[in-house]
Amino acid sequence: AKVLSEYADIIMLRTSSHKNLEEFGKYLNIPIINGLSDQSHPCQVLTDLFSFEEAKGSISGKSVAWLGDGNNNMSNSLIEAAGKFDFKLKIGCPNKYKPNKKIMTWAKKNKANVLVTDNPAEAVKDVDCVMTDKWVSMNDKVNKKAKKKSLKKYQVNKKLMNLAKSSALFMHCLPVGRGEEVTDEVIDGKQSIVWTQALNRVHVQKSIINWCLN
């Protein structure tokens, strides 16, 4: 960290453990961007909000469904985003994988509009955007088979997608587990904007760097 502070103006760290990020940041004299940790994924979520707004206009007052693991890096950052950007977030997940207490306390304190339900149909009903992610995240030391089994009914397939608004977008941060959290029909379908999201990462990250340096 000390050496890189001499070389660079800013650093992005993508790491499996959030503790690495905090520890590394302690010794830096330059800004650090969280490029991904097991706790949060803010650059991806900012890109997703940008991608939504580019396609549909302001996200304020709109609704987003998150299906699958309610306690991973993406869902944590989405909860924070719901509080800051004023959209309704409906998380459909089994009780075992619901958001952790710390983030829900934050959500309450910050008046984030977040509903957690174990009913996938309730989560996607009439939303403007449906999102999901890999069922087993990096650094997730679980019994993969058991976790995938309990998440099966949260797979984003055509039947669930049809419960959202007909204009709803489908998003995924990639890489994808085809046939697990999402079917080919949905990720390759007309409502999916996953490749645009991937492209937008480049531009949103340039903006984040710009913001930090200014």
> Binding to ligand NVA by residue 134, rule CB under 6 A?
yes
Distance between CA atoms of residues 18 and 117, nearest Å: 27
90 binds ligand NVA (CB under 6 A): no
Nearest-approach distance from CB 17 to ligand NVA, in angstroms: 12
Q: Is residue 13 part of the contact set for ligand NVA (CB under 6 A)?
A: no
Tell me how far, at minimum, the Cβ of 136 lies from ligand NVA, in Å: 8
Helix (H, G, I), strand (E, B) or coil at 113: coil
In the DSSP assignment, the letter for residue 96 is G
- Give all strands (DSSP E) within the chain, no chain letters: 11-14, 32-36, 63-67, 88-92, 114-117, 129-132, 169-172
Q: Catalytic annotation on 41? A: yes
| Residue 36 CB neighbour total at 10 angstroms | 23
Stretch that binds ligand NVA, among 22-30, 95-103, 110-118, 129-137 (CB under 6 A): 129-137
What are 81's two structure tokens?
């985003």
Query: Could you tell me which residues come within 8 angstroms of residue 140 by beta carbon, excluding any fewer than 6 positions away?
Result: 38, 72, 147
Q: Of 39, 69, 133, 172, which is the active-site residue?
A: 133
* Active-site residue, selected from the candidate residues 39, 44, 155, 197: 44
- Between residues 36 and 124, which has the closer beta carbon with respect to ligand NVA? 36
172 scored as a contact of ligand NVA (CB under 6 A): no
Q: How far is CA 126 from CA 2, 130, 138, 172, 175, in A?
A: 50, 10, 31, 19, 26
140 is catalytic: no
Instruction: Determine, following the binding rule CB under 6 A, whether residue 137 of this chain makes contact with ligand NVA.
Output: yes
**Cα separations in angstroms, 46 against 40, 65, 108:** 12, 16, 21
Q: Out of 47, 51, 73, 200, point to the residue binding ligand NVA (CB under 6 A).
A: 73
Q: What's the closest the beta carbon of residue 197 comes to ligand NVA, in angstroms?
A: 11
Q: Is residue 133 near ligand NVA by the rule CB under 6 A?
A: yes
Q: How far is the CB of 9 from ligand NVA (least distance, A)?
A: 25
Binder to ligand NVA among 21, 32, 34, 36 (CB under 6 A)? 36
For the bound state, the minimum distance from the C-beta of residue 21 to ligand NVA, rounded and expressed in Å, comes to 14
Residues 96, 147: Cα–Cα separation, whole Å: 9
Q: If we measure between CA atoms, which residue out of 1, 54, 2, 42 comes closest to residue 18? A: 42
**If DSSP codes are grouped into helix, strand and coil, which group holds residue 61?**
coil
Which positions lie near ligand NVA, rule CB under 6 A? 36, 41, 72-74, 133-134, 137-138, 173
Catalytic residues: 14, 41, 44, 133, 173, 201
